[in-house]
Amino acid sequence: MDRLFDDFFRTPMLSGGALSSPGWPSLEVKESEDQVTITAELPGLNEKDIELSIYNGVLTLKGEKKSEHQDKDRGWSERFYGRFDRSIVLPMGADEEHCDAHFSDGVLTVRLPKSEATEKERRIPIGSPPTQH
């Protein structure tokens, strides 16, 4: 049971925003001993269309892809237009203060070095409830 919880909390969690397609934009998260790298495919967008933020160990990617045409005759399309919002719970040790991001050819790459901080476990003693006087 402990391993199940450990694996769950160590695996980056991805979530989509209310208006986004569940898997858009496509993300890739890689973790090495010294770095976490997150890559997002954002074809048709530029830097001004994207907002990137980190708060309390969660990296959030927001933006909007606008339709280039107002075709009323379009019968069927698999292209995505609209606002998107993706959040990624960062792995332990990711250094939020020293991250950088680059955008090139429709691909956003975010790199976070890993700090020297290690996970610390602390036992909590279990005792009887305090008596009321």
Please name the fold of domain 8-69+76-113.
Immunoglobulin-like (2.60.40)
Q: What is the pLDDT of residues 60-81, one digit of tens each?
A: 999 887 766 666 666 666 666 6
| Whether the Cβ atoms of residue 59 and residue 25 lie closer than 8 Å to each other | no
Q: What is the pLDDT of residues 75-100, one digit of tens each?
A: 666 666 678 899 999 988 899 999 99
Give the helix/strand (H/E) hosting 40. Answer: strand 35-41
| Whether the Cβ atoms of residue 75 and residue 9 lie closer than 8 Å to each other | no
The whole model's pTM is what? 0.64
Domain limits, the chain = 8-69+76-113
Q: What is the pLDDT of residues 38-65, one digit of tens each?
A: 999 998 888 888 999 999 999 999 988 7
